[in-house]
Structure 1
């Protein structure tokens, strides 16, 4: 295990929740880096069933492309109970999903991505990894301020200054919508990757995996499910038109 190693350009650490976006980002990283490690967070989220999907997705990616399997390194899971404890949101409490007076959805967990990326950088520092990959996007997102490109760029500066390292925060989904995210998955791993994401990833905020839809498992009505379903519909329509 590398300890405080000087980072190189051949390795990446992917924030890997077990959802559609992070699975696509993991494939993106495996296509580009010689060694890729993954990091998941347990912060008491209602949909923590997503964490149980991570091993299946990692194994499935290795079957789709043997080279990816050889590049896939260690998986890490970090408990962030404190984040859930101080959050009063629909992602960390049994509350109806809606909007706050500020206009933000009550699924917004304040500071979540800032904390995630800070912990990721601390782990990357120890593991000798320079590149950190996350699925943040501000094209068809829920308005979360910590998903914005400006936020990620500012945090990269702060992390580099605070740790005296030159980390690079990659957000390959930042400027594409959900239909294009499905398309990116297909361009990386073909229909096999699309099918893996449909069957084995999890995005539904309510943690519902009882019914399988064309786009995957979920309640079908929460904001995450609606984004995923609408994106898949646009993706398939484009495929059929082609």
Structure 2
């Protein structure tokens, strides 16, 4: 048994591609894995349904992981979404703002998520907080940077007198490498699960299933997901990640 197999992890789980891969990553390493989702008034609220489907299918298709999959928690933080309005929470166009940031940027979202997750983890006796933040293929969100998360980890540990670890297994991976990681963790079955059941599209579109998954195909989240899938597929769907 590896050292982490005797420990527990809490995955910040939206039901999207990245957090689904992070859930599989944590289930491969930790003896108990719980998940937490956040209802912040997001327009693509369909992800709240997708996350339950992904959890259920992971348990059904991967018996070894099913034994490790613990409780799911859903936290209502819609008051935060109302304050930090963006194109994800209000009827606004998806575009670049005068600050040079996408209008989909929800100010401080990951910081708020981590505060709530850490408070929950404290009560659950969990030290590892796992998130799908990525600095390689991302939309320019400053709260996805590892420097930001290192600072947040320090603040949480100082403020709560704990030894939390904010783990970001996708931080330095491209989207193509994230697809490769999913295959290395669970084979083509996990890839199919993520394609068919996870949800990333900002528009909440699930009418059409593309080779890379459901989505409008034009929002930034869909474009990143499609581009990464195409690159991975063109490379021969290799399972290895650098």
Shared topology, TM-score over 0.5? yes
Structure 2 partner of 1:19:
16
Alignment of 1:38-53 (within 5 A): 38-53=35-50
Q: Deviations over 1:138-164 (max 9, x none)?
A: 101011000000000000000000000
- Partner of 1:31, secondary structure, is helix
Q: Do the aligned partners of 1:179 and 1:235 also contact (CA within 8 Å) in 2?
A: yes
Compared CA separation, residues 82 and 177, structure 1 to 2 (3 A): same
Structure 1, unpaired ranges of 5+: 1-7
| Structure 1 partner of 2:68 | 71
**Secondary structure of the structure 2 residue equivalent to 1:103:** coil
1:53-88: per-residue Cα shift (whole Å, max 9, x none)? 112111211233211001000000000011111122
- Give 1:124's match in structure 2, choosing from 118, 121, 124: 121
Match among 32, 36, 49 for residue 33 of structure 2: 36
Corresponding position of 2:228: 231
- Partner residue of 2:218? 221
Unaligned runs of at least 5 residues, structure 2: none
Q: 1-side partners of 2:188 and 2:140: how far apart?
A: 30
Contact map agreement 2:232 2:238 (CA 8 A) in 1: no
Query: Contact (CA 8 Å) 1:89, 1:95: kept in 2 or not?
Result: yes
Distance 2:117 2:86 in 1: 23
Given candidates 119, 133, 155, the residue that maps to 1:136 is 133
Cα distance change of structure 1 residues 89 and 240 upon mapping to structure 2, 3 Å threshold? closer
Mean Cα displacement is larger for which, 84-93 or 103-112?
84-93
Ranked by relative contact order (alpha carbons within 8 Å, sequence separation 6 or more), the top structure is 1
Scaled by the length of structure 1, the TM-score of the pair is 0.95
- In structure 1, how many angstroms separate the alpha carbons of the residues matched to 2:116 and 2:84? 18
- What is the match of residue 158 of structure 2? 161
Instruction: Give the TM-score taking structure 2 as reference length.
Output: 0.95
Among 52, 55, 59, the residue aligned to 1:58:
55
Counterparts of 1:46 and 1:142, CA distance in 2? 18
